[in-house]
């Protein structure tokens, strides 16, 4: 039901396309703010490289045939000593969920394939309530079964999804089984080639959410585009009582407004407001907001700010701002694996703040909702991105639909977060007619979903003799002239990079989405010694010299905050399967360039304060 609602409202992704890549519905807004039961904890798992638990020996999926049992989702126990069952979750090892499998079992470190995971929980479903089984993220393809019956599937490793399980829950014990498969495919999003670890499994929370029969499925409460005196958005109900009066209240701002939902359960929200304490990195003010219908009520903490461009300026709440940023992967260098909770996330974001950052690029895929909420709270603007990375299957319509759906799931989830200032539609996608068409559609999709943020993409540079430029028709569809450039590392070196200069032919704010150099922490040499801290440090200094000469320079997110694991980085001494472009080492120690970037950002902060 909700699925169809979204498909209708979200125009760009047809219902059929949504079903092709996912039978799951887009997730409930603010799931943590609802009554829920947490299904995290230790889940039993079975590694299934040949997918024996999914296909019969004629390679027919058990869950699509009547051929009976065999599928691991049955969680079968032999009824007597003569029954033949070849698997068992009982007695199989357990892993912590949320958590990637690669870091929890040595034999899974580089594993790409299927793992079955089982959790049991007790439920006491109440009449008049609806229930949703919610997954924060499963990488990459998830098939979900409840009490032996398939609920559906979802593709995409970084966005939430849910299944309605009203009427499907047992009173008492229930069993949820997930077939998670992180195999890379050329026509998926991302594609086979990336520069990060392909962590598999259930990497974010699993919840059983309980809502009333007619409930607040979604809402957007934000300042209108470019207008600090008006809150604009919508409330969407789902259920049998579609037409209701809704109260949107922000007590601290003396706001209490009533709107009525229509026959589709939708109400447009337009509320004039007085001067608010606008959210900014210096004052990350969040207001308590409640949305109440006759049947449901949900509370959130929301910041209000505007973000716009004017010519080459970026304006936050109408004031010129410089994006003092850094790029971040969702990985903990200290405890292997994906970030698992608020503690990990706070550590990473605090490291960025220690460099005097006011902005982070959460590369190259949607980070968790918790991370974005922390950025809201800690005062960091966010560039949020989908994993449309390098060369994907531009001409495959299913790949486009998948990218649109992942982008939609990201925007649906994070549209109420003040910290999100830029939606990024991809990274280093090479110019060609099919790619331009594909990326153009993604830009249209994101603009139609949300017009209150900037739209960016990490473009590539082109060199013409000593000139570094960007020649990309996609730039016309973006708000920022944003690009990656590896002067001094992948081309040129500290010795000669200053012979190059930038010529950026767009009347837009220039934001450098990446530059950087690898440095093995503790390895010292002179500024010409590759892999040394001195090389990286000098490269940053040279970059500042070059970048400061760009008239529209308004920000940067050097690559990258912390060393991160990558299978494409095999050098035995310098890399050892780590990308060493971190400003902080794998053990959490700042490298020289960390201090250099901090000093530069301190100057920038002063410069913009006096504007
Ligand atoms: C890039 C990519 C990033 C890589 C980085 C590198 O351009 O966007 O994902 O990790 O370069 O280190 O080469």
pLDDT in tens, 457-505: 999 999 999 999 999 999 999 999 999 999 999 999 999 999 999 999 9
Does position 9 have pLDDT exceeding 50, yes or no? no
Q: What percent of the chain has a predicted confidence (pLDDT) above 70?
A: 95
Identify the three-state secondary structure at position 417.
coil
CA-to-CA distance for 320 and 611, rounded, in angstroms? 7
Q: pLDDT band at 66, cuts 50/70/90?
A: low
Predicted local distance difference test score (pLDDT) of residue 86: 93
Closest ligand 1 atom to Cα of 490: 13
Provide mean pLDDT across the span 342-346: 96
Does 2.40.30.10 match the CATH number of domain 215-308?
no
Ligand 1 mean position, distance from CA 561 (Å): 12
Q: Determine if residue 589 is left, alpha or beta; phi over 0 gives left, psi from -120 to 50 gives alpha, anything else beta.
A: beta
Provide mean pLDDT across the span 508-517: 98
Question: In sequence order, which residues have a C-beta less than 8 Å from that of residue 86 and are 6 or more positions away?
Answer: 52
Report residue 60 as tokens: 């027919």
Identify the three-state secondary structure at position 472.
coil
Does position 4 have pLDDT exceeding 50, yes or no? no
Predicted local distance difference test score (pLDDT) of residue 611: 75
DSSP state letter for 64: G
- Ligand 1 pocket test, pick from 559, 570, 577, 579 with the greatest ligand atom count within 8 Å of Cβ, gives 559
Q: Report yes or no: 142 and 178 within 8 Å, Cβ to Cβ.
A: yes
Q: What percent of the chain has a predicted confidence (pLDDT) above 90?
A: 94
* Each residue's pLDDT tens digit, 105-142: 999 999 999 999 999 999 999 999 999 999 999 999 99
| 19, 423, 592 from 313: Cα distances, Å | 41, 18, 31
Element spanning 311, H or E = none
Predicted local distance difference test score (pLDDT) of residue 610: 78
CA-to-CA distance for 528 and 490, rounded, in angstroms? 14
CA-to-CA distance for 164 and 160, rounded, in angstroms? 14
Measured in whole angstroms, the distance separating CA 59 from the mean position of its chain's CA atoms is 34
Phi, psi angle pair for 607, to nearest 5° = -55, -40
Does position 19 have pLDDT exceeding 60, yes or no? no
Closest ligand 1 atom to Cα of 194: 9
Closest ligand 1 atom to Cα of 364: 9
| 17, 249, 403, 548 from 20: Cα distances, Å | 5, 39, 13, 47
Mean pLDDT of the chain: 95
Ligand 1 mean position, distance from CA 195 (Å): 6
* Beta-carbon count within 10 A of 397 CB: 11
Report residue 560 as tokens: 């990258």
Q: Whose CA is nearest to atom 7 of ligand 1?
A: 484
Ligand 1 mean position, distance from CA 201 (Å): 24
Ligand 1 mean position, distance from CA 482 (Å): 15
Predicted local distance difference test score (pLDDT) of residue 127: 97
Ligand 1 mean position, distance from CA 430 (Å): 14
Please identify, in words, the CATH class of the domain defined by 320-609. Answer: alpha beta
Provide the b/e sequence for 328-356 (b: ≥16 CB within 10 Å). Answer: bbbbbbeebbbbbeeebbbebbebbeebb
CATH architecture of 2-212: Sandwich (2.60)
- Ligand 1 pocket test, pick from 365, 427, 483, 514 with the greatest ligand atom count within 8 Å of Cβ, gives 514
Does position 8 have pLDDT exceeding 80, yes or no? no
Ligand 1 mean position, distance from CA 509 (Å): 22
Measured in whole angstroms, the distance separating CA 505 from the mean position of its chain's CA atoms is 30
| 43, 58, 93, 200, 208 from 115: Cα distances, Å | 11, 20, 12, 9, 22
Element spanning 259, H or E = strand 255-260
Ligand 1 mean position, distance from CA 488 (Å): 14
* Each residue's pLDDT tens digit, 67-112: 557 899 999 999 999 999 999 999 999 999 999 999 999 999 999 9
CA-to-CA distance for 566 and 351, rounded, in angstroms? 21
Closest by CA to 461, choosing from 536, 383, 547, is: 547
Q: Which residues are near ligand 1 (CB < 6 Å)?
A: 195, 364, 427-428, 484, 514, 559, 579, 581
Residues 544/547/553/557 CA torsion (nearest 10 deg): -60
Domain residue ranges of the chain, discontinuous segments joined by +: 2-212, 215-308, 320-609
Ligand 1 mean position, distance from CA 396 (Å): 25
* Beta-carbon count within 10 A of 464 CB: 9
Closest ligand 1 atom to Cα of 427: 8
Provide mean pLDDT across the span 198-221: 98
Least confident range from 69-78, 92-101, 217-226, 244-253: namely: 69-78
Question: In sequence order, which residues have a C-beta less than 8 Å from that of residue 74 and are 6 or more positions away?
Answer: 148
Closest ligand 1 atom to Cα of 513: 8
* Each residue's pLDDT tens digit, 144-167: 999 999 999 999 999 999 999 999
Q: pLDDT band at 593, cuts 50/70/90?
A: very high
Element spanning 416, H or E = none
* Each residue's pLDDT tens digit, 358-417: 999 999 999 999 999 999 999 999 999 999 999 999 999 999 999 999 999 999 999 999
Closest ligand 1 atom to Cα of 581: 12
Closest ligand 1 atom to Cα of 516: 12
Does position 11 have pLDDT exceeding 90, yes or no? no
Ligand 1 mean position, distance from CA 189 (Å): 17
Q: Whose CA is nearest to atom 10 of ligand 1?
A: 195
Provide mean pLDDT across the span 183-187: 98
Predicted local distance difference test score (pLDDT) of residue 488: 98
Closest ligand 1 atom to Cα of 390: 8
Ligand 1 mean position, distance from CA 146 (Å): 40
């Amino acid at each position: 039901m909700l699925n169809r609602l979204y498909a209708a409202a979200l125009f760009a992704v047809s219902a059929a396309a949504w079903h092709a890549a996912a039978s799951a519905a887009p997730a409930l807004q603010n799931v943590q703010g609802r009554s829920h039961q947490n299904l995290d904890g230790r889940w039993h798992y079975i590694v299934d490289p040949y997918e024996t638990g999914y296909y019969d020996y004629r390679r027919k999926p058990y869950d699509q045939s009547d051929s009976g049992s065999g599928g691991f989702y049955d969680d079968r126990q032999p009824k007597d000593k003569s029954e033949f069952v070849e698997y068992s979750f009982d007695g199989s090892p357990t892993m912590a969920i949320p958590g990637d499998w690669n870091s929890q079992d040595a034999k899974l470190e580089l594993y790409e394939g299927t793992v079955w995971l089982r959790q049991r929980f007790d439920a006491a479903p109440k009449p008049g309530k609806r229930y949703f089984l919610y997954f924060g993220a499963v990488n990459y393809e998830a098939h979900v079964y409840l009490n032996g019956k398939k609920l559906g599937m979802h593709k995409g490793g970084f966005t939430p999804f849910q299944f309605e399980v009203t009427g499907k829950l047992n009173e008492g014990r229930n069993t949820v089984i997930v077939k998670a498969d992180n195999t890379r495919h050329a026509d998926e999003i991302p594609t086979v080639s990336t520069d990060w670890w392909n962590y598999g499994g259930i990497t974010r929370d699993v919840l059983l959410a309980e809502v009333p029969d007619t409930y607040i499925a979604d809402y957007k409460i934000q300042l209108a585009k470019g207008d600090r005196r008006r809150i604009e958005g919508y409330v969407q109900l789902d259920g049998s009582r579609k037409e209701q009066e809704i109260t949107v209240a922000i007590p601290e701002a003396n706001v209490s407004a009533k709107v009525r939902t229509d026959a589709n359960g939708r109400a447009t929200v337009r509320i004039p407001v007085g001067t608010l304490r606008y959210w900014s990195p210096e004052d990350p003010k969040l207001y308590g907001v409640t949305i109440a219908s006759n049947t449901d009520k949900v509370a959130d903490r929301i910041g209000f700010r505007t973000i716009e461009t004017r010519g080459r300026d970026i304006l936050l709440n109408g004031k010129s701002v410089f994006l003092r940023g850094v790029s971040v992967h969702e990985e903990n260098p200290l405890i292997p694996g994906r970030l698992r909770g608020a503690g990990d996330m706070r550590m990473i974001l605090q490291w960025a703040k220690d460099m005097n950052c006011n902005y982070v690029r959460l590369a190259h895929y949607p980070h968790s909702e918790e991370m974005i909420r922390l950025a809201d709270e800690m005062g960091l603007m966010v560039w949020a991105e989908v994993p449309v990375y390098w060369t994907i299957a531009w001409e495959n319509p299913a790949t486009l639909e998948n990218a649109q759906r992942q982008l939609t799931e990201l925007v649906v989830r994070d549209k109420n977060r003040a910290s999100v200032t830029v939606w990024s539609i991809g990274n280093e996608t090479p110019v060609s007619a099919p790619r331009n068409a594909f990326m153009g559609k993604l830009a249209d999709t994101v603009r139609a979903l949300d017009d209150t943020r900037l739209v960016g993409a990490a473009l590539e540079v082109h060199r013409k003799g000593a000139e570094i430029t960007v020649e990309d028709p996609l730039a016309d569809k973006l708000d920022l002239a944003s690009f990656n450039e590896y002067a001094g590392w992948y081309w040129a070196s500290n010795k000669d990079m200053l012979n190059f200069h930038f010529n950026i032919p767009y009347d837009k704010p220039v934001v450098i989405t990446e530059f950087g150099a690898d440095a093995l922490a503790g390895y010292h040499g002179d500024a010409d010694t590759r892999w040394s801290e001195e090389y990286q440090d000098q490269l940053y200094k040279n970059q500042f010299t070059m970048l400061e000469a760009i008239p529209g320079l308004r920000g940067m997110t050097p690559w990258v905050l912390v060393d991160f694991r990558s299978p494409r980085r095999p050098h035995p001494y310098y890399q050892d399967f780590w990308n060493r472009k971190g400003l902080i080492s794998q053990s959490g120690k700042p490298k020289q360039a960390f201090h250099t970037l901090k000093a530069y950002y301190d100057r920038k902060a002063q410069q913009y304060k006096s504007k």
